[in-house]
A and B are shown apart, each in its own frame.
Chain A
Amino acid sequence: MTRVMDAVQAILESRYELRNRNLSASLARLGTYLKTMRQDLHVLVEHPYVDKDYRDTYYHYYATKNSAYSRNSIRLSFFLNSVEETHFRDPAQFDAIQSGYLGFLSVRPTFPKVIGRSVIDKRAFSKDDCVICPMPLNATANGLKLDVTGFPHSSQDGEATTCAETTLWSVLQYFGNKYAEHAPVLPSQASKVLTQFSVERIVPSKGLQAGQVSYAFKEFGFGVKIYSKAEYGYTPFFQLIRMYVESGIPVIGFLSNGSIGHAISIVGRAKPSAADIASLPETDYPDGLKVSEFADLDIEYVFMDDNHAPYRTGLLSNPAKAYEGVDDRFKGCELIYFLVPLHRRVYLEAGSARTQVISLLTSPLKPFTNKSILIRTFLSSSRSFKHAIASNPTMDPDAKEFLIHASMPKFVWVAEISDKTLIANGEAHSLVVLDATEPKQPSIIAAMFNGTCVYRDLTSEITIALPLRPYSIMGSNLQ
């Protein structure tokens, strides 16, 4: 990485004529970022690079100023293996280049806040023992198209964008690049939407109100749901965050300590250890039913914070830990709200889905008595769910056929029911599927427990003897 810093310094000095304080401050920011990455990576440095998001901000803001700003950025592309320039012109090397490609970082000429757009595979970072909401992207390096999977990140420039705009941009990029029904949004497009909902100018930015962020997501076609810690209480608030993240949906966390407000996105979690699972609390219900919930796992979550490098991890109860000893303005910052950008056809929110699952398990059906169970509840598209069922290596064939052919809406809530022993092997024994388009009444599509499937046929309710057998839990929402 030292050679990378030397190369970037040479470009900053010779092509941007950067000197003194701005040069050292810019390099310090880049150095801090690169220190969080594996030091054995190979890096391709390219200049000039046209970063579409910076160009957009340049034409809408920086080019309108009297001072001269460059249009061009520097691009750093990261590789696991050694790559020579000649390899990029040799088809025999293309597979090797692709297999080692870990994404890119754009270094923006907004000195000293130079950390621009990036999509970097989490394997490029020193601490990568986590699973995240994955976004595949086709990028280029030295003219060659390459695929990378990561979560989009950028730092704020503090002038055209602050944390709120950057977090909004990052999550919109995620959905826009991943799903055909959304499109990636340029910073100026987001500003245009925000202008409609602001009594003051948006640029230069002095931050956004949390309500404006919510409004922007609504305008871009999402069904937004907001949760407040003061209203829901500490435990349910964090449970809800964990359920959405488990669903592969990045949530936007609003932090405050009373004097400063900050926005981050929460995009993944650490992999729980056996000890984490064993220490999960149990809640007692009638008839000897003891319930633990995956959403109670107090493990580290993955934050995308525009003041730090990507994939910073920390506990939900202390999301500003990385600022300790670095920036006192963030001292005591806590998550006080979170916003979840749901698909507009998801009408059943997480809390109602969880309520229904617990209600069913404690209903007169009494599927489990004198038993300890562990529930993992998440939202899934029915396509992904049925694909996971179809490719499940251990599920009973009749149960598979039943679930694949059952009529389902575009989205379903799934509760995989396991226990602390089975889950250690990545398995569950029972399953509840809820209709995510039915918000106001019980919405069971199928409930399968103890070898029995409860199902509402066209004319009546039936039970079907369908042993699920311990089956592999779904894992594709987070990677």
Chain B
Amino acid sequence: MDIKSNLELLIEKLRKDGKVTPIAPEEWDSVMVKMEEDLKEYQTKDELRMKNSEEKLFHLVLNG
């Protein structure tokens, strides 16, 4: 028996209606490559920020 999820059934219906278009793999790859690069750049900076601030946290006494 072919059991399909609600999402698969919906996409199948949308395919029949001609509403689904594949994205060319190279187009998707170019999106992913850009996102990966941007994310890596942000997170590399983020790790450094944390390293720089971690020790200072233990010098801040909250007694107000």
Contact = CB atoms under 8 A, between A and B. Distances in A.
B38 A359 contact: yes
Interface stretch (A142-150, A292-300, A401-409, A422-430): A401-409
Contact of B5 (A227, A228, A405): A405
A181 B9 CA distance: 34
B53 to A, nearest CB: 4
B42 A351 contact: yes
Contacts of A261: 60-64
A465 B17 CA distance: 10
B34 A462 contact: no
A147 to B, nearest CB: 33
B64 A356 contact: no
Contacts of A207: 61-64
A462 B60 contact: no
B23 to A, nearest CB: 4
A226 B49 CA distance: 10
Contacts of B64: 162-163, 207, 255, 260-263, 307, 329-330, 333
B10 A405 contact: yes
Interface stretch (A210-218, A265-273, A274-282, A471-479): A210-218
A401 B42 contact: no
B43 A352 contact: yes
Contacts, number: 152
Interface string A225-246: 0111011100000000000000
Which of A336, A454, A465 is most buried by chain B, counting CB atoms within 10 A of its CB?
A465
Interface in A315-342: 329-330, 333, 336-337
Interface in B38-54: 38-39, 42-43, 46, 48-50, 52-54
A209 interface: yes
A30 to B, nearest CB: 21
A208 B62 contact: yes
Contacts of B5: 405
Interface residues of B, number: 40
Interface residues of A, number: 60
Contacts of A358: 38
A464 B14 contact: yes
Contacts of B22: 460-463
A337 B39 contact: no
B53 A363 contact: no
A391 B31 CA distance: 32
A207 B59 CA distance: 12
A363 B35 contact: yes
Nearest to A406: B7
Given A364-B31, A466-B19, A209 B39 contact: no
Contacts of A307: 64
Contact of A210 (B23, B34, B48, B60): B60
A363 B61 CA distance: 44
A256 interface: yes
B57 A461 contact: no
A398 interface: yes
A249 to B, nearest CB: 19
Contacts of A330: 64
A209 B58 contact: yes
Interface in A414-428: none
Nearest to B63: A207
Given A351-B42, A440-B43, A462-B23, A206 B63 contact: yes
B7 A231 contact: no
A460 B22 CA distance: 7
A223 interface: no
A457 B12 CA distance: 11
A365 B31 CA distance: 7
Closest 4 CB pairs of A and B: A207-B63, A262-B64, A228-B53, A231-B49
Given A227-B49, A457-B11, 6 more contacts: A209-B59, A228-B53, A255-B64, A460-B25, A461-B23, A462-B22
11 contacts: A211-B57, A226-B57, A231-B50, A254-B62, A364-B27, A365-B31, A441-B36, A442-B31, A460-B25, A463-B22, A465-B14
